Amino acid sequence: MPAATSTRKLHGRAFFESIGSPRLILAPMVDQSEFAWRMLSRSFMTPETSKDLLAYTPMFHARMFTDTPKYRESHFQPIRAPLPSPSDAYQNAQYEPSHLYLDGNPQVDRPLFVQFCANEPNELLEAARHVQRFCDAVDLNLGCPQGIAKRGHYGAFLQEDWDTIYNLINRLHLELDIPVTAKMRILETKERTLEYARMILSAGASIITVHGRQREQKGHNTGLADWTVLRYLRENLPSETVLFANGNILRHEDIAKCLEATGVDGVMSAEGNLYDPSIFGEAPPIGQEGREYWRSKDGKGGYRMDATLRRYMDIVHKYVLGQDPPPRRPLFVPGDPVDEPASKNTTVQSGPQKRPLEHDELGPVPTKKQKRSKAEKQEKCTSPNLCSMQAHLFHMLRPLVSKHTNIRDALARCRSGDMAVFENILTMVEEAVKSGLIDYERMTPDEREALMPEAPPEDLTKDPGSLATVAMCKRPWWVCQPYVRPLPREAME
């Protein structure tokens, strides 16, 4: 296959530099990297560092995106009106700033790559033409290892079909107005992985993201990403190749470690970001924590869950719903007057008023899926930003709802788009965090120490095991923190 060339647009490192050479990358995640979540992740960056974060949309199915207007409208909302079908380059060029809505809005959501899965070049090209006006590049998913990708013959299940991959990328490289990139997994050997990466680059990919796990590494068999393969690629691919790394990013500190270990241009986080959306941002200086960031007596800490959830809710109100957020009281910090004793009671908000609500008043927790009325079915939420909220909260609040099961039960009953109910969840979380902060102030030094992370082992070349990693990553339950998966041998045990 001869190398493809194109002079119609910036390519490779020139393109990468034109979007600010971002070192931090928010991964494409199915139904989880939508606009509101990208905005939340970007909100922890300073104005000076905002362009250092590149975000990807969720993975979209190219054929469905092209053939099904409802699918397209319920997943990608760059303008307030439906996108024209078929794609119309002239009309797309006529949009004024007042027409722009959420996805790819140059005021708030750039740089942005849109990712598709596909196995047919024409379908991928048509899907890409729908979005090229509203993003900086189109990415081809070659990494999805799930069963649905195997059945649909896309994602990581294309990696034996190099001709198809070449044709998919090359078609976009030659006929799309913006660059094409690709996200791949490592193969069975580093040498074979290098051949694979060279083929993808020869097809015209401007950037390749390499997930340092093989296709079989998923679920209980996820294991660790192999950074040594990424270092091998860095040392053996041309120096002008733009390379991103994906895998093993649990905390902000891991980003610098990955950059040093692999020599890549940027580091991508997926699951680490879902559990801690502040993962890309720097901690505020000591003494400038305000009410959002909690720091212990020894200087360790993180963003509070109530503060992060409040940011998220305010973003949904402002951008997705186009309305002002409800009036909010300042978040509690130790030293504030305690109006009423913190308790295990939950609270519920009805309009601007709040009242304590006993757990029994919430009603029984459903033990099986409840039938919905015809009216409820007709009012089904279709906004990708509203439909993703419940899943995001279960990820982000995982340590908190493990302790406060009443909040977990209330969250389980939330309906997509019911903002009043999610406001109730926020109120409950604020009360839970308040109680945790009050309890912390009353703890002994030894009790406080037990809540904080342990020192990392001296030999960082050896895998400490997931239990030791949990000990190094843990934070108090009211602080956003990573979720550590058991290693395969531990899961089997």
Task: Give catalytic residues, as residue numbers.
Answer: 144
Residue linked to tokens 């409802």: 70
DSSP bridge partners of 294: 302
Cα(205)–Cα(201) distance, rounded to whole angstroms? Answer: 5
Cα(325)–Cα(342) distance, rounded to whole angstroms? Answer: 25
Pick the closest to residue 141 from 41, 133, 128, 379 (CA basis): 128
Cα angle 486, 490, 491 (rounded to 5 degrees) comes to: 70
Cα(419)–Cα(423) distance, rounded to whole angstroms? Answer: 6
Whether 116 contacts 140, CB under 8 Å: yes
CA 365 to each of CA 218, 355, 422: distance values in angstroms, whole numbers, following the listed order:
32, 21, 17
User: Do the strands 293-295 and 53-61 form a parallel or antiparallel pair, or are they unpaired?
Assistant: unpaired
- 364 burial (CB, 10 Å; 0-12 / 13-18 / 19+) is exposed
Query: What is the enclosing helix (H) or strand (E) of 442?
Result: helix 419-442
DSSP bridge partners of 53: 24
Q: Where are the beta strands (DSSP E) in 186-338?
A: 207-211, 242-246, 266-269, 293-295, 301-303
For residue 33, report the phi and psi dihedrals to the nearest 5 degrees. Answer: -115, 40
Cα(211)–Cα(234) distance, rounded to whole angstroms? Answer: 14
Cα(272)–Cα(322) distance, rounded to whole angstroms? Answer: 29
Whether 410 contacts 428, CB under 8 Å: yes
User: Do the strands 293-295 and 301-303 form a parallel or antiparallel pair, or are they unpaired?
Assistant: antiparallel
Whether 24 contacts 280, CB under 8 Å: yes
Cα(115)–Cα(144) distance, rounded to whole angstroms? Answer: 12
